[in-house]
Homo-oligomer: A and B are copies of this chain.
């Protein structure tokens, strides 16, 4: 029987697997984690609004009833197209007839890997826990700090990159400082915390039209975020961020830095031995297969795909659509039919900023503020995997909307930014 291997169970891999549910094939879905993650809401875990299980579900559980599919939790170290095998972390190999590579992207420090420890990004649940720990503990350390300038550095949050993730993080951190934590400290006033959003280009949310960017900027300022556009970051260390702008070089003293400035494609793309674009993405044919290997498809953030002459953006609806097209093209090939080219259906763009704030663009319709936020809310809850998660998220959000409370403010594990380590056994 035809054996299809799918690498990665993000939006792309999962939609490909589901598209093949009733096909007479054997599927192996390999992911290095045990869960599918609803990444658009990951910033809510990082900012203590949602617990991890609310936005993540075991892959095995989601696909338990798809009997032509085996889930394998394993790390794939390489693909060998010539031999049609994938190599796992334990050295074993798995042969395929068709392969879908959907291993996505990770954050990139543009050659400054030394920034990774002081400015974590946000791609996985581990990342979200790390950012949650750092943000919440910063207020705790500020409460203990007696030196005024060190206290100010604990109460300054720098978010680098004003794309969707950066804007969400900055808006939500400002909301936490101004509302959630207000009245819970005795020595500091959490409302005095500074949230500084640093962006290299001349406006926030660069992929959006200029007027929506301006709307987003105004909403951020209203939430209490300091927006600094046109600022190029030149250094990050344990004490803060250095950046240069038209006004010269500046240093912002900050103990909590969030990296939201860029991504690079999964390194698995390299092992395919085909041309990559500047961001490391695999340049795919119109049917999403790769040159010289019509049985290998690359989808999602790892693919540099083109539809109607325009590059396909790295967003979840595009990944899902590519997953379906790749799955169908495999079935076409199995039946000896011609494949079809991928066509991206763009339903619009949405970005949330914080409580009651968002911008939306649906075709030519643009709107912002509270209506956009409500629209964003319903779209995201609707697309969350499974009824259970939807229920949990709705309960959590209804609660926090009315009370400003954030329900997952639990810090677990040590923090390496200060003093002596806690002995976990004590």
State in angstroms the CA–CA spacing of A65 and B58 once bound together.
39
CB of A72 closer than 8 Å to a CB of B:
yes
Q: Contacts A51-B52, A124-B424 given; indicate if A411 touches B35 (C-beta within 8 A).
A: yes
Q: Contacts A106-B426, A391-B395 given; indicate if A60 touches B184 (C-beta within 8 A).
A: yes
CB-CB < 8 A to A163: which residues of B?
Answer: none
Which of A34, A53, A408, A409 is packed against the most chain B CB atoms within 10 Å? A53
CB of A6 closer than 8 Å to a CB of B:
no
What sequence of 0s and 1s flags, for each residue 137-160 of chain A, a beta carbon within 8 Å of any chain B beta carbon?
100100110000000000000000
State in angstroms the CA–CA spacing of A99 and B206 once bound together.
57
Quote the shortest CB–CB distance from A68 to chain B (angstroms): 10
Q: Contacts A140-B34, A388-B399, A395-B391 given; indicate if A70 touches B186 (C-beta within 8 A).
A: yes
Which residue in B61, B392, B422 is a CB contact (below 8 Å) of A32?
B422
* B126 engages A424 (CB within 8 Å): yes
Q: Which residue of B lies closest to A65 (CB)?
A: B183
* A425 engages B116 (CB within 8 Å): yes
Quote the shortest CB–CB distance from A420 to chain B (angstroms): 5
Which residue in B56, B407, B422 is a CB contact (below 8 Å) of A53?
B407
CB of A64 closer than 8 Å to a CB of B:
yes
* A34 engages B106 (CB within 8 Å): no
CB of A401 closer than 8 Å to a CB of B:
no
State in angstroms the CA–CA spacing of A266 and B64 once bound together.
45
CB-CB < 8 A to A391: which residues of B?
Answer: 395
CB of A39 closer than 8 Å to a CB of B:
no
CB of A74 closer than 8 Å to a CB of B:
yes
CB of A209 closer than 8 Å to a CB of B:
no
State in angstroms the CA–CA spacing of A183 and B64 once bound together.
6
Interface size for chain A: under 10, 10 to 19, 20 to 34, or 35 or more residues?
A: 35 or more
Q: Which residue of B lies closest to A181 (CB)?
A: B60
Which residue in B71, B75, B405, B424 is a CB contact (below 8 Å) of A420?
B75
Quote the shortest CB–CB distance from A43 to chain B (angstroms): 16
State in angstroms the CA–CA spacing of A51 and B50 once bound together.
10
Which residue in B129, B405, B425 is a CB contact (below 8 Å) of A61?
B405
State in angstroms the CA–CA spacing of A419 and B75 once bound together.
11
CB of A382 closer than 8 Å to a CB of B:
no
What sequence of 0s and 1s flags, for each residue 94-136 of chain A, a beta carbon within 8 Å of any chain B beta carbon?
0000000000001000000000100000001110010000001
CB-CB < 8 A to A125: which residues of B?
Answer: 410, 412
Quote the shortest CB–CB distance from A295 to chain B (angstroms): 23
Quote the shortest CB–CB distance from A289 to chain B (angstroms): 24
CB of A244 closer than 8 Å to a CB of B:
no
CB-CB < 8 A to A184: which residues of B?
Answer: 58, 60-61, 64, 71
* B52 engages A410 (CB within 8 Å): yes
CB of A24 closer than 8 Å to a CB of B:
no
* A34 engages B136 (CB within 8 Å): yes
* A426 engages B58 (CB within 8 Å): no
What sequence of 0s and 1s flags, for each residue 265-295 of chain A, a beta carbon within 8 Å of any chain B beta carbon?
0110000000000000000000000000000
CB-CB < 8 A to A124: which residues of B?
Answer: 424
* A410 engages B56 (CB within 8 Å): yes
Which residue in B56, B73, B411 is a CB contact (below 8 Å) of A34?
B411
State in angstroms the CA–CA spacing of A32 and B423 once bound together.
10
What sequence of 0s and 1s flags, for each residue 31-74 of chain A, a beta carbon within 8 Å of any chain B beta carbon?
01111000000000000000111101110110011000011111
Q: Which residue of B lies closest to A121 (CB)?
A: B425
CB of A413 closer than 8 Å to a CB of B:
yes
